[in-house]
Structure 1
Amino acid sequence: MATLTEAAPTASGKPKEKKSQEEIYTEFQQLRNQQRNLVNNLHTIEMDLREHRTVIDTLKTVDADRKCFRLIGGVLVEQTVGAILPQLEVNRSQLEKLVDEGKEQISKKGIEINAYKDEHNISVRGQEAAPAAASSEKDAGDDKASGNRNVLVGNL
């Protein structure tokens, strides 16, 4: 007579059910998509931060009584440089904090993805071959160090 064995209980006392390959793949793709979204958001914030720095550097060279315009929520507002500059500096510091938090979230998501990969023995195609290929290219590149450097030369 055959007996059915239950899945091993987890720390919470509930039996851990084995996931199908499709479920594992779907969850892994969701994690990777979440990380991509975090990276895209970080790039947007970094771009805003660069714009703020450029505007602040430009406005510091201008007279504080000079009028300037600022777009706030789709509405163009006229103020003086002296009134807008402190607001921009506050926004810049907040954006810098957001960038730091974003980098931390991306790092945590990467750790989560790696743990998921290890837990489910997932290997990404080309990832294991890449370090070996890079080292072989490096060895081959030493032989032709003065050779192909992807330089575009025009006729004079």
Structure 2
Amino acid sequence: MAKTTGKGGKAKSSEIFAGFQNLRSEQRQLANKISELEMDLNEHKIVIETLQAVEPSRKCFRMVGGVVVERTVAEVLPELEGNKERLPQVLQALHEQLAKKGQEINDYIEKHDIKVQRGSENASEVPREDAPAKSNVLVASG
């Protein structure tokens, strides 16, 4: 399908590979963003639990856009709770995008007849008895 000969074939296969790498990169970026937002959600929960036990007039500090601002607990707590309520919706949308990107990658693989190799051909393969054993050996000469 994607196999052609000559210089044009190599250029086409490198374009196909670049497209595949681009899709995988986008998938990784989505997964990283999901992970980051899940950590933010957990941090929001911890901070909200902590601030609920504090008197509302007490001052606290919050980082907004890289700048630390001084506020009171009464001002910060509703903002944090609002953010905590919106984060699951954003995470759900990102999970849907990640699933679509995975399907897009699978379609791209099928369309261009790409064979994906992972590490070794069969990770669960038992070493043969006649094959040399792999081991780490440190030899010190005296």
TM-score, normalisation: structure 2: 0.71
Alpha-carbon distance, 1:78 to partner: 2.1
1:81 aligns with 2:73: yes
Question: Which structure has more RCO (C-alpha within 8 Å, separation ≥ 6)?
Answer: 2
- Structure 2 gaps of 5+ residues are 1-8, 127-142
What is residue 120 of structure 1 aligned with on the other side?
112
Choose the corresponding residue for 2:28, options 10, 22, 36: 36
Give 1:133-152 correspondences, 5 Å limit: 133-134=123-124
SS at match of 1:68: strand
What is residue 46 of structure 2 aligned with on the other side?
54
* Alpha-carbon distance in 2 for matches of 1:127, 1:112: 23
TM-score, normalisation: structure 1: 0.66
1:22-67 C-alpha deviation (Å, 9 max, x unpaired): 2211111111111111112222222222211111111112122222
1:23 aligns with 2:49: no
Choose the corresponding residue for 1:45, options 37, 41, 50: 37
* Alpha-carbon distance in 1 for matches of 2:118, 2:99: 22
Alpha-carbon distance, 1:87 to partner: 0.4
What is residue 131 of structure 2 aligned with on the other side?
none
Alpha-carbon distance, 1:126 to partner: 2.7
Alpha-carbon distance, 1:74 to partner: 2.9
**For this pair of structures, how many residues does the alignment match?**
117
Q: Aligned-residue CA RMSD in angstroms?
A: 2.3
Structure 1 segments of 4+ aligned residues over 3 angstroms from their partners: 127-130
- Structure 1 gaps of 5+ residues are 1-17, 138-156
Alpha-carbon distance, 1:86 to partner: 0.7
Choose the corresponding residue for 2:82, options 90, 105, 115: 90
What is residue 99 of structure 1 aligned with on the other side?
91
What is residue 136 of structure 2 aligned with on the other side?
none
